[in-house]
Structure formats: structure tokens, C-alpha cells
Structure 1
């Protein structure tokens, strides 16, 4: 009886380890991503690259954590806010202002409220579809989907970005509708409160924009 050659066993083991290491490395198609792809990664994953996300696809536990995190974002952040915006915009669109000095039924605010209502509906729809997709997602299938990069990667990232985009658009339309109604009011108190609200809005959006621009500068 002949024993197997130790060098062959070691060579096979080394080959398997090198193959596994290559699988864990970020593919070149994902490493050399375009500016649009990196921008979508920044919105969807919080990073301008796919290295961390690709690592989460290499093990079941890491993929489970990534899936739970994404489902939590879709459920708590997107669906809850979109549902609140949907209900609030629906009330404003279907009712008359109880205060005569704050008329949000004039053409401009009403149009923005209607757009906010529609965007909230789309946000809930895309969020629900994204939730279904992530609940039934398979780790290996996800790897095969995004590995070629390019146009195969864009739908994957857009499925995470679109709910946030429509929810944010709905919120901003609602805010601008209230700002227009407040500044068009004949009441001085409404003018003051609207001005304070506008300052808070500009400060909040400005601070987030500065951080976003800093991350965007890191990409170049």
C-alpha cells in the first residue's frame, strides 16, 4: 500500500487556499467602478466602494448581518417615514386649512403636496419590493449578480437607493409646500415661525451636504 505524496497534498491545499483568497478579493470589474457607480455606492452603502460589502458576501453570518441591516433600513427608516408622509400629505391634500391665515390649498403648495403624496407612494412601493428582494436573497446568487459589474451592478445599487431617493423627494416637497404657505400668509407669527423653520432646514441640510461633499472629495 502506497501512501499519498505529501507534496501533492500540500500543493492541493495551497491551491485551494489561493483560490479561496482570490474569491474573497474584490473583482476588478467592481474595483474599477465608474464615478456614477461609486456615487450610488456612497448613497446605498455609506462608502464609495464595494470592498466591505463584497466581504459581507463571503460568509453566511456576514451576509445575514448585511441582509438584516438592509431590511432594518427599509422597514424603520424608509417605510415608516414614507408611510407617515403618505398619511400627512393625504390629509393636507384632501382637507381645507382650518386657519384662514395659513392657506396651503393655493396652487403652488397644493401642487407640491400632491407631488409629495405621489413620491411617498412610490417610496413605499420600492421599499416593499426591496424588502421582498432582500428577504429572499441568496448569497451566492448575489455574488454572481454583481461580480460582472457595470450594468449588472446598477440595478442592485438602485434597488437600495430608490426608496431613499423617493422618500427624500417626498419630504422636501412637503417642506417647501409648508414654507411657501407660511411665507404667503398674512400673519406675522407665521412668517417668523416659517423663517425659523427655514433656518433649521438650511443648517441641517448644509451640515449633511458638507459631510457628503467631503466623502465625495475622497472619491476623486
Structure 2
């Protein structure tokens, strides 16, 4: 009488293992993703596919690590930078330049500073909403959301990317406002420092763009 019970136990274990193996396989809808989805994956996850991220959704421990990492990014990187940009842009928008040779209240720099202020506000809002979402995220619900692909997957990836996008846009608007104000200055030292700042900015952005384009090229070559 013990043999049938042993066989049934082995069959149950085998079926459970097969179910777990099937769950770990990347769904077909997440295999053949569009170019936009791959680019969003590259920004949000650091790689142009969802295999590693899907694998992290198969256990509670791995999902907890992903949730903690994303919350840390939203808190320490996005929210902190957005708050700093919000405060700095707010000061520049609401005050007059103390130096007469550096007038950032002229129309173009002032408009860029105002846009930077608005983008920082939106970044704070989207970052806070994203943090609330991840703090209350459920592993199975997250699986179901991205399993079908399509617009559900796009909204999932955009919830990670949008805060960083608005922070980057706010920062660049602030930088260009300062550059324009510096180059329109009548002071030679101010123009020289602005030119040096522009060179440093171009070099930094160029290096990051080269790395991104290299990853994007790999993304395009992958099937």
C-alpha cells in the first residue's frame, strides 16, 4: 500500500517542478518586443530584454530585491535630484541676479528656468507615485501585468522611466539657461567660464551617448 502513495508523491513533485519550470520561461509576448519597448527596457532595466527581470519575478526574495533597488533609485537618485532642482530653479525664478553681468532674467534663460521648475515638479510627482506603487506591489499582480505585453508592459516600463526622464529634462533646461545667460554676458571671465562649462558638458554627454548607442546597437542586432 505504500508504493502507490510513493508514486503519487513523486508525480506531484514532478508536476510541481514542471509548473515552476514553465513559469520561469519568458512568455512569448515578451520575446518579440518592439523597438520602443527594447529602448524602454534599456533605460529602465539596464538591458534591452526582459529575461533577467522576468526571472526576478519568480521568487519572493528576488522580487523583494528588485523592489528595494527601485525604491532606492526613486528615493536617493530621482527624488533627491528633483528636489534639489526644484529648490534651485525656484530661487532663480523668483529672484533677480545679484551680478549685473550675469542676467538670467532675460526672456530665454527665464523661460528655460521656468520649464526646469515645472519639470522638477512633475519628476517629484511621478517619483512619489512610482514609489507608492512599488511599496505596495505584489509579485503575482506584477507578473500578470507584464505577461501579456502590449500597453500593459509599456505602462509598466514608463512608470520606471518617466521620473528619470523629467529629472533629465529639468536638469538640461537649467544647464542651457545658465549657458545662454553666461554667453550673453558682457564679462570676459564669465564667458570663458561658460565656455569651459560647455566643453565639460559636451564631453560628459558625449561619453554617455557613446555607451548608450553601443548598447542600443546590441539591442537592434538581437532578434
TM exceeding 0.5: yes
Task: State the shift of 1:176 in Å.
Answer: 0.1
1: distance between equivalents of 2:33 and 2:124?
A: 29
Give the equivalent residue in structure 2 for 1:61: 61
Aligned residues: 220
1: distance between equivalents of 2:213 and 2:3?
A: 63
1: distance between equivalents of 2:9 and 2:198?
A: 70
> 1:160-206, CA deviations, whole angstroms, 9 ceiling, x for partnerless residues?
00000000000000000000000000000011000000000000000
Does residue 139 of the first structure (1) align with residue 123 of the second (2)?
A: no
2: distance between equivalents of 1:113 and 1:62?
A: 41
2: distance between equivalents of 1:67 and 1:11?
A: 35
Give the equivalent residue in structure 1 for 2:117: 117
Give the equivalent residue in structure 1 for 2:155: 155
> 1:45-103, CA deviations, whole angstroms, 9 ceiling, x for partnerless residues?
11101111111111111111100000000001000000000000000000000000000
Task: State the shift of 1:12 in Å.
Answer: 3.6
Q: What pairs with 1:32-181 in structure 2 (closer than 5 Å)?
A: 32-181=32-181
1: distance between equivalents of 2:189 and 2:113?
A: 22
Taking structure 1 as reference, are residues 208 and 2 closer, same or farther at Cα in structure 2, changes over 3 Å only?
closer
Moved over 4 A (4+): 5-9
1: distance between equivalents of 2:8 and 2:56?
A: 33
Task: State the shift of 1:11 in Å.
Answer: 3.6
Q: CA RMSD in A?
A: 1.2
Task: State the shift of 1:3 in Å.
Answer: 3.8
Unaligned runs of 5+ in 2: none
Does residue 219 of the first structure (1) align with residue 201 of the second (2)?
A: no
Instruction: For residue 102 of structure 1, give the secondary structure of its aligned residue in structure 2.
Output: coil
Task: State the shift of 1:9 in Å.
Answer: 4.2
Does residue 202 of the first structure (1) align with residue 218 of the second (2)?
A: no
Taking structure 1 as reference, are residues 185 and 11 closer, same or farther at Cα in structure 2, changes over 3 Å only?
same
2: distance between equivalents of 1:14 and 1:60?
A: 22
Give the equivalent residue in structure 2 for 1:31: 31
1: distance between equivalents of 2:166 and 2:27?
A: 31
Instruction: For residue 137 of structure 1, give the secondary structure of its aligned residue in structure 2.
Output: coil
